[in-house]
Amino acid sequence: MVLGGTGYLGRRIGEAFHADGALVHLVSRSPAGDGPADACHVRMDLLTAGARELAGLFGSLRPDAVVNAAGRVWRGDEAEMTAGNAELVVRLTRVLAELPHPPRLIQLGTIHEYGAGTPGAGTREEQEPAPVTPYGRTKLLGTRTVLKAAADDGMDAVVLRLANVIGAGVPAGSFFGRVAAHLGEAARVQALGEKPGELSLPPLRAHRDLVDVHDAVDAVRAAATAPKADAGGQVINVGRGEAVPMHALIDRMVDLSGVDLPVVEAVPDPSPRTDVAWQQLDVSRALRLLGWRPRRTLDDSLRDLLAAAVPAPVNGRT
């Protein structure tokens, strides 16, 4: 069962388990969209669903594994993020703990739970989280709820802390989604013989760890079958284990798109930063406990992202 099963990650997770031969239930308040044709779609607003409704859902379907890919990411205020990323997880764990045969719970966390990383080093799971954004703070509340359920109730649960996920179809509200959309529109303008407008961005001072959406899905698949003795009650980082300079990444996106346009960065705001300058995960635990490692290159991810947005073959220049 995939909660948030019609979202960016949830839909792809459902497709992967369906391809593996699993019976997949996608739970979402949104229409089914283009998920697996043979999957079972359950319409439910998880943000408002009470314990009785959730208990009825799990009791009737009796899933072997539940992937929580629901929540609020790009849009919404802190109250809405709290409802989707924290309060839902409290209800979810309470209901699952009372089932006669509880399923494995795979909670999707985020690198933003950690806050600032140490330049030049990967953040390990043992680091004390210090999130600086509403998204990071509310996701951390969800993680702590899952870990408490595992410790206190013996719940079979694992938290995958994902780096920034990139690939085809990233949400339009995300930074990479906005850049890809701008390059797509610029490509259409260029094809008409006109000069595209500049790509105006905030200061690109940060370094970010990125993970391809296919690699992230493979980590979920691995977590679903890993022995409880290995993965149960664990936080496991899932990323490429590298901090990529954002200015270099944007330059590469423009180059691969084949669009000739200037990139203009805004003048840095002298006020204190509200995000972090360095994000890099240590992913050695994922290899040790799940047998997982990232396999797709950054260019693979960028080409997939651009192919879905730019109405022309993606430039193969190196």
Query: Known catalytic residues?
Result: 135
Report how far residue 112's alpha carbon sits from residue 134's, in angstroms, rounded to the nearest whole number: 9
What are the CA-CA distances from residue 311 to residues 126, 200, 303 (Å)? 44, 21, 13
**Residue 242 to residue 143: CA distance in whole angstroms:** 23
Per residue in 201-212, is it b (16+ CB within 10 Å) or e — as a string?
Answer: beebebbbbbbb
Q: Cα angle vertex 40, ends 39, 44, to 5°?
A: 130
**8 A C-beta contact, residue 143 and residue 109:** yes
Q: Return the bridge partners of 109, or none.
A: 161
- Say if CB 84 and CB 4 are below 8 A apart: no
Helix intervals (H) in the chain: 8-19, 51-61, 78-82, 88-97, 134-153, 175-191, 213-225, 228-231, 246-257, 284-290, 298-307
Amino acid at 110: T
Is residue 28 within a helix (H) or strand (E), and if so which, with residue range? strand 25-28
Ranges of beta strands (E only) in 34-122 are 40-43, 65-68, 104-110
Residues 67 and 54: their CA atoms lie apart, in Å, by: 14
Residue 219 token pair: 């980590």
Q: What is the CA radius of gyration of the chain?
A: 20
CB-based contact 240:210 (threshold 8 Å):
yes
